[in-house]
Each structure stands twice: as structure tokens, then as C-alpha cells.
Chain A
Amino acid sequence: MSEYALEMLGVTKTFSKVTALDNVDLHVKKGEIHALIGENGAGKSTLMKVLSGVYKPDAGTVKINGEVVTVKNPRDAIDKGVSIIYQELSLVPELNAIKNVMLGQEKNKCSIISTKEENEFAGKYLDYASRGTLPSYKIPVKRLSVAQQQMVDIAKSLSYNSKIIVMDEPTDSLTTGEIDRLFEIVRKLKEDGITVIYISHRLEELFALCDRVTVLRDGKYITDANIADIDKDWLISKMIGRDLKDTFPPRHRMESDETVLEVENLTAERFQDVSFKLKKGEILGFGGLVGAGRTEVLRAIFGADRYKSGTIKVFGQEVRITQPNQAVKYGFGFATEDRKTQGLFLNQDIQDNIAAAALNKVSKGGFVDSSKEKVMVQKYFDELQVVAPDINKICKFLSGGNQQKVVLAKWLASECKILFLDEPTRGIDVGAKYEIYLLMDKLVQSGVSIILISSEMPELMGVADRVMVMHEGSLTGELNVDEFSEENIMKLASGEKLE
């Protein structure tokens, strides 16, 4: 018998030209809680998708209990004792807890489902995972909280008799109390001999929960270590592996006191009493945890969602924006967090995407002047250095970084004056990130104002001129450059006051 429950050796995976994993190793001992960490885009999720058979690696071997295995597909992974609990839980919202657990492994006689047997079988695992905290196993899981749904998902994994359970950012949308309860469950799993691979970007959690850690950076294996032997600073230095100075371009700012956007007491379902001012040529950062209401505030201003009360002034003039097309007319641009579902026309080419918000600039009487359009598109295509053979490439074939550049090019082409960027560098590689920071710097010099939402604190501090922090729908504080520190942002983000 091997000492390791799971070994992944020399795993390499490339997508067209992008190397997502480069000769990555992972050694997970039996019955330990093993943390897998790295920045966004470091390759954690890709590695786990190789493990679960979603992706086939270009090279490398996977050993489970010392035996070399080939995982053909997710079902095969489950049969081999590996199951993954994704951030977006894989439950059917309309079905109840029991039926979700039994999905795909229904207890039946001649295709007639035996309810009693199912209740017993699923109930056992649900009891184990939830410890009686679920109100009922018989109500649709969509009526449970996220934490409770997660318990159902854990029960489902256990019911497959899994020996290795991977949890991908399980605490992202949980409250503190719920996180504690989750930790109890994870520790219980460990006691019962189950190996847990725990993916998170919250370093405190690793020190509270895990035994060992593997660090990935830019698709490469960096190191592994016992948690007891290391501290947070060491871990951060391994994760980042470079100075912040090199990560962010130097700032160039125009000095202006003109207020372009003034929001007063904006209130909607998910946030209350949000007030702030945005100056011309400034980058205003929005910090806070996922779900703090930052995106919702920007969506309300942009007219994508309704708000209940409050006033919005654009260039000193009070406006009531109810539709995004009005916002675009007032000079707003909004590069959304999820570019695939909200930003891009994936089936269309780069030209159609870049021109989408600026067609009126190249047309007369509703007719598009194609030659003018091409010139405009080409200009932004070149300016942003989108890596593609030409502007007729279909967007779904571009890498994440290039897709993001196309989204930004769309808003540049619209010549917007106030640009909202929601997690603009999520999931894109370091080189492309730097280019996007450079572009932001260039934009503010030309008088555009930017609001930047980012969950990466170094990014906020490296790019923004001011940072406003939100916690559970309220603004908890504002930091100027000289007050920037991860600690300060974190405090405000968790609702504490600064001295």
C-alpha cells in the first residue's frame, strides 16, 4: 500500500496556445486535509478537472493508492473513489435532498423506485453530512441555504463511497457560522479516513483547517509543505513569487476636481444607503467579499437592475436610468464579471463584438458604413493588442485574456466616459493582466473615470487611487493610497471599524 492516496505527476495541459498546467506535481497523503492554493489562473481548477476526467492531460500520470489510473470521464472518477464538490453546486434545484443524493444511483426493482430503501440509504449520508441541521430532506433543495445545499452535495459525494473529496472554494458564499460548521464536517471526514483536497484563496482557513499545502503559480508546481512548518508571509511570497512593484505599472494621473458621478443614498434589495463620488480621471476601487453587494451597486447605476431609492448625478445632472441603453448614452461602460454570459457574443467575430456598442458612430440613417466600421474596429484591435489572426476570428476560440480585451475594446470604441470594470482580470494570465492595468492607466490619463471591483486586494492597492469597501450591502469605509493595506481592507470587508 502506498503512503499517498493520490499522486499526480508531471501533469501538463495546454489549450490551443495557452499552457494551463506545466509539469505539475501533487502528492496527497491518506486521510489528510490537503490545501491547494494559488492565485486566480494558477491552474488549481484545471488540475482538478484533469483529476475528475473533465480534461485529458497532454502528459503526466495519475496514481490513486499507488496505482496508475486513467480517468476517462467524471463518472469514471467517481467509480475510482474521487468526487469533486464544485463552487457552483451540482444539485438539481427542483428535487429534494434525498432525490438529489440518489440521482443516477436510484434504488429500484425493475425500474420501479423503492422509496423506502432510498430514504434509508440517502438518509444515512445526509444525517452524517448535515448533523440534523437540514429542516427537511423532502423539500426542493432550492429552498435550502447555500450552506445547507453544500451539505447535500457532500452527502452525495459520500454516498458514492468516495475516498477522496475535492472541495473547490467551498466557503466563498458562506457566513462565518456556516464556515465553522463546514470545518466541523471536514474534520469529521478526516477522522473517518477520507482524504480531502481543499481549494481556497482564504489563507486563514488553510491554517485553521489543513495539514499540508501545495502551491501552484501560473500553471506550475511551486512547492508543498506542512502547514505547521510555515507562516502566512511565506505562503504569500510563494503564491505571488514577485514584488507588487513589477505586477502593476506606475501611475500617471491627471489632476482634476471635476465630479463625473455622484451617488447618494442608493438603496436596493441587496444594498443600502450607498453614497460616493467619482472624479474625472480617477480609478476608484471597490473592495469587499464576494456577495457584499458591489456588483449590484454598479448594475443598479447602469440600469441593469432596479433600485428603490437614492439619487444619481452624472456630470452634475440628476438622471434616472432604467435601461442600460440609457446608461450607454450618458457615457457609461460596463465590463461585467462574467464575460462569457454577460459580456461577449461568443458565436460572433471580433469585429461584431467590438462594434456592438458603437455602431451609431459608423452609420448613417441606420445603415452601417462597413469600411468605417472596419477602420474603427481595427484601431481598437491593434491598440489592445488582441492576439488573433484578424478581426474575423470568432470570439469563443479566443483565450480568456483576449476575450477580456475584446470586451474592453467594445467599451473603448463606444468612447465611454465612466467605465465600470467588474473583476476585469479574473481568470486571465499574468501578462494579459499587466496589459489591462496599463490600459486602465492610459484611459484615466485621457480623462476616463474607472470604478474597479476586485476581490484581489493587491490589485486594488496596486491600481486604484481610492478604495471603498463594502460589507453586507453597506459601505464600511474609504481608504486613500496612504492607508492601503490588506489588513485595513480585510477589516472593513468583514464589517469591522478602523481606529
Chain B
Amino acid sequence: MTKEKEKTNIVKRILGNPVSVPYIALILVFVISTIASPNIFPTYSNIMNILRQASIVGVVSIGMTVVLLVGGIDLSVTSIMALTACLLADMMEKGVAAGKTGIMIGPVILVLLLGCFIGLVNGIVIVTRRLEAFIVTMAMNMIVKGIVMVYTKGAPGGKVSEFWENFGSGFVFGIPCAVILYALMLAIFVIILHKTIYGRHIYAIGSNAEAARLTGIKVKMNKIMAYVLCGFTAALGGVMLMARVRVGEPNGSTGYDMDALAAAVIGGTAMSGGVGTLAGTFAGVIIMAMVNNILNLIGADPNLQSLIKGVIILAAVVFQKQEK
């Protein structure tokens, strides 16, 4: 009797948890896809393929979730990705010419810091001038994109060292390297958000910035830090993108901003801040990657992808609103 009660309690708790909604959707998409393509979709190699495709958006969506949690948004991620990819590929070309094959940690750290720096500028402008994050980061996106275009003249360029070529296509213990990096980032940021004072303050600020200020939380500092982290994950996404396409492609990152945003929203992150989890965002990332994958597998018109994605996002927000 009590055990049964416990069971229903557990079911209730699972259903009551806001994170379960995107995961139920995830399972649903998985089941439907398996029925639609029973021979290819549920295979190990295809699943790994989905995860690898998801990993770049996944990394970008981590920082995006943090920024959304403080009640902001970052629309400059695509150009940060393009900048880091092109700059790093360019620096690597010289290295490769000099016979280097390794990780080239110096240039990599440099571009990651560059991403942080752009995030820092975003954050400082938004917080100190009390401006709309939407406008500021959109302007920053155009500025950085312009710099990339002038720098590359719009054409792909540069080379990728052997280490990163292997990273882009290689496996460790049967798992793609990019997926491992994504998992690592996810683990680090889950700890930051849920186990540190900084994480708690992020949620508090997003939930009620004025109350947070009057509670003695350093709202401005923490907000700026959120944009720095988003700049960092975008830059890391750029590095991963470069490794995957093996060249610095100035237009290669198009659409990652909206995909990252959509993943967060599907995962239950509120645009108004304070509500959302990385676990939810992860589900959002995987749902979108699965949908892309299955549409390819069944040979659907590629133009249909946008339509289906849009419907999923719309359904997600409508459904989440009703939940409350």
C-alpha cells in the first residue's frame, strides 16, 4: 500500500517537475522517429551522429541559457563563432605551414578570451547604460560580423591542424570528441548554476533584479559575468565549428543564434528570466537535432525543416504557458 503510494508520488513528482515536459517531448520524438525509420534511426552510429550534430548548438545554448536566466539575450553569438573560427583557422594555417600538428593551445585560448571580451563589452554596455540586451547584442553582432567580412573578404580561408581535424571527425571510446567536449561543458555549467553562489544569484537576478539588489546581491557584476560566459561558449562553439568544417568559414555559423535560443525555450527557459535549467536546454538541443536527422533520413524536403522547427517551438511555448 505505502509502496504504491510512494510510486504514485514519484510519478506525480516527475510530472510536476518542469524539466519533465521537454523530456516527455524528447521521448515522443524518439518513438515517432523510430517508427518512421526503424532500420536506420535507432542505430548506435546514427544516434552518435545526432549527438555530434547537436554538440555545437549545444555548447552555444549553454551560454545562451545563462544569459536568458538573468533576463537578457545574446544575439551576437553567430558572429563571435564566425570570428573565432576564421581567426583561429588563419592562425593555424601559419602553424601548419611551420609543421605544427598539435592542439595549438595558445591561439585557441586567445580566441576563447576574445569571445569572453566581446561578451564583456556586451555586458558592460547593457548593464551600465541600462540598455535593452536585444538591441545592444544585435548591434554587436553586426559590428563583429562586419569585422569578420572585412578580414576574410567573405571567403572561407585558413587551415586546421591535424589535432583539430581529428577532433572534428574522431571518436574516443566510440563517442565523437565534440560530444565529449559538450558533455564536459554541460557538467561544468550545471555545477556553476546549481552548486555555486554565483548560480544562485543568477536565478535570483532573473527572477527579480530589484529584490536581488536590495538583498545585497551584486546584480551588475553578475549580469556582466553572464554575458562573458555566453561569449565564451559561443567562441568555443566557433572552435568546434572550425574543427568540423576544417576551414574558417565566415558564413558557417548562420542560424546558430536562433537554434540556441530555440533549444533553451523548448527546454523551458523563460525569456523573462529566472526560470529554466540546462537539463531542459539539453533536451531542447537533442529534440531539434533529432527532428533534423529524421527529416533527412526519410528524405523530406529540406525546406520543410524550418517549418517543423517553427511548429515545435510554437507548440513548446504554448504548452509551457498552459502548464502554469
Q: Which of B187-230 contact A (CB under 8 A)?
A: 195-198, 200-201, 203-204, 207-208, 210-218
Interface mask (A352-372 → B, CB under 8 Å = 1, otherwise 0)? 100111011001001110100
Given contacts A341-B211, A345-B208, contact A328 B274 (CB under 8 A): no
Q: Are B214 and A356 in contact (CB under 8 A)?
A: no
Q: Are A302 and B200 in contact (CB under 8 A)?
A: no
Interface centre among A347, A355, A368 (most CB of B within 10 A): A347
Our pick among B196, B213, B215 for the contact of A368 (Cβ within 8 Å) is B196
Q: Are A328 and B275 in contact (CB under 8 A)?
A: no
Note all chain B residues with C-beta closer than 8 A to A347: 207, 274-275
Note all chain A residues with C-beta closer than 8 A to B196: 363, 366-368
A423, chain B: closest CB distance, angstroms:
15
B194, chain A: closest CB distance, angstroms:
9
Give Cα A324 to B274, complex, Å. Answer: 21
Note all chain B residues with C-beta closer than 8 A to A366: 196-198
Note all chain A residues with C-beta closer than 8 A to B197: 359-360, 363, 366-368
Note all chain A residues with C-beta closer than 8 A to B275: 347
Q: Nearest chain-A residue to B191 (Cβ)?
A: A367
Q: Are A356 and B198 in contact (CB under 8 A)?
A: no
Note all chain A residues with C-beta closer than 8 A to B217: 325, 356
A263, chain B: closest CB distance, angstroms:
19
Given contacts A346-B208, A348-B274, A355-B200, contact A302 B195 (CB under 8 A): no
Note all chain A residues with C-beta closer than 8 A to B212: 345, 356
Q: Are B195 and A367 in contact (CB under 8 A)?
A: yes
Note all chain B residues with C-beta closer than 8 A to A329: 216
B269, chain A: closest CB distance, angstroms:
12
Note all chain B residues with C-beta closer than 8 A to A367: 195-197
Q: Are B204 and A352 in contact (CB under 8 A)?
A: yes
Q: Nearest chain-A residue to B217 (Cβ)?
A: A325
B168, chain A: closest CB distance, angstroms:
34
Q: Nearest chain-B residue to A325 (Cβ)?
A: B216
Given contacts A325-B217, A357-B216, A367-B195, contact A348 B204 (CB under 8 A): yes
Note all chain B residues with C-beta closer than 8 A to A348: 203-204, 207, 274
Q: Nearest chain-B residue to A356 (Cβ)?
A: B215
Note all chain B residues with C-beta closer than 8 A to A344: 208, 211
Q: Are A356 and B213 in contact (CB under 8 A)?
A: no
Interface centre among B207, B216, B218 (most CB of A within 10 A): B216
Q: Report the number of A-B residue pairs with Cβ-Cβ less than 8 Å.
A: 74
Chain B, interface size: which category?
A: 20 to 34
Q: Which of A159-218 contact B (CB under 8 A)?
A: none
Query: A461 on the interface (CB 8 Å rule)?
Result: no
Query: A398 on the interface (CB 8 Å rule)?
Result: no
Note all chain A residues with C-beta closer than 8 A to B211: 341-345
B12, chain A: closest CB distance, angstroms:
13
Tell me how many residues of A have a C-beta within 8 Å of chain B.
31
Note all chain A residues with C-beta closer than 8 A to B215: 324, 328, 356-357, 410
A331, chain B: closest CB distance, angstroms:
11
Give Cα A414 to B203, complex, Å. Answer: 19
A20, chain B: closest CB distance, angstroms:
22
Q: Nearest chain-A residue to B275 (Cβ)?
A: A347
Q: Are A328 and B208 in contact (CB under 8 A)?
A: no
Q: Nearest chain-A residue to B216 (Cβ)?
A: A328
Give Cα A342 to B200, complex, Å. Answer: 17
Query: A149 on the interface (CB 8 Å rule)?
Result: no
B274, chain A: closest CB distance, angstroms:
5
Q: Nearest chain-A residue to B207 (Cβ)?
A: A345
Given contacts A345-B203, A347-B274, A366-B197, contact A324 B214 (CB under 8 A): yes
Note all chain A residues with C-beta closer than 8 A to B204: 345, 348, 352, 356
Q: Are A352 and B203 in contact (CB under 8 A)?
A: yes
Note all chain B residues with C-beta closer than 8 A to A334: 214
Query: A467 on the interface (CB 8 Å rule)?
Result: no
Note all chain B residues with C-beta closer than 8 A to A370: 195
Given contacts A341-B208, A346-B207, A347-B275, contact A368 B200 (CB under 8 A): yes
Q: Are A341 and B216 in contact (CB under 8 A)?
A: no
Note all chain A residues with C-beta closer than 8 A to B274: 345, 347-348
Q: Which of B268-309 contact A (CB under 8 A)?
A: 274-275
Note all chain A residues with C-beta closer than 8 A to B198: 366
Give Cα A341 to B208, complex, Å. Answer: 7
Give Cα A342 to B211, complex, Å. Answer: 4
B19, chain A: closest CB distance, angstroms:
14
Given contacts A344-B208, A348-B207, A367-B195, contact A359 B216 (CB under 8 A): no
Query: A102 on the interface (CB 8 Å rule)?
Result: no
Query: A384 on the interface (CB 8 Å rule)?
Result: no
Our pick among A304, A352, A363 for the contact of B214 (Cβ within 8 Å) is A304
Give Cα A360 to B218, complex, Å. Answer: 13
Give Cα A336 to B212, complex, Å. Answer: 12
Give Cα A345 to B206, complex, Å. Answer: 9
A166, chain B: closest CB distance, angstroms:
31
Note all chain B residues with C-beta closer than 8 A to A324: 213-216
Q: Nearest chain-B residue to A370 (Cβ)?
A: B195
Query: A327 on the interface (CB 8 Å rule)?
Result: yes
Interface centre among A304, A345, A346, A414 (most CB of B within 10 A): A345
Q: Nearest chain-B residue to A362 (Cβ)?
A: B197
Given contacts A345-B207, A347-B275, contact A352 B200 (CB under 8 A): yes
Q: Which of B35-74 contact A (CB under 8 A)?
A: none
Give Cα A348 to B200, complex, Å. Answer: 10
Interface mask (A401-426 → B, CB under 8 Å = 1, otherwise 0)? 00000000010001000000000000
Binding site for B on A (CB under 8 A): 302, 304, 323-325, 327-329, 334, 336, 341-348, 352, 355-357, 359-360, 363, 366-368, 370, 410, 414
Apart from A342-B214, A356-B212: 7 A-B pairs, beta carbons within 8 A: A325-B217, A329-B216, A334-B214, A343-B214, A346-B207, A346-B208, A363-B197
List 23 A-B pairs, Cβ < 8 Å.
Answer: A324-B213, A324-B214, A325-B216, A325-B218, A327-B216, A329-B216, A341-B211, A342-B208, A343-B211, A343-B214, A345-B204, A346-B207, A347-B274, A348-B204, A352-B200, A352-B204, A355-B200, A357-B215, A359-B197, A366-B196, A367-B195, A367-B197, A370-B195
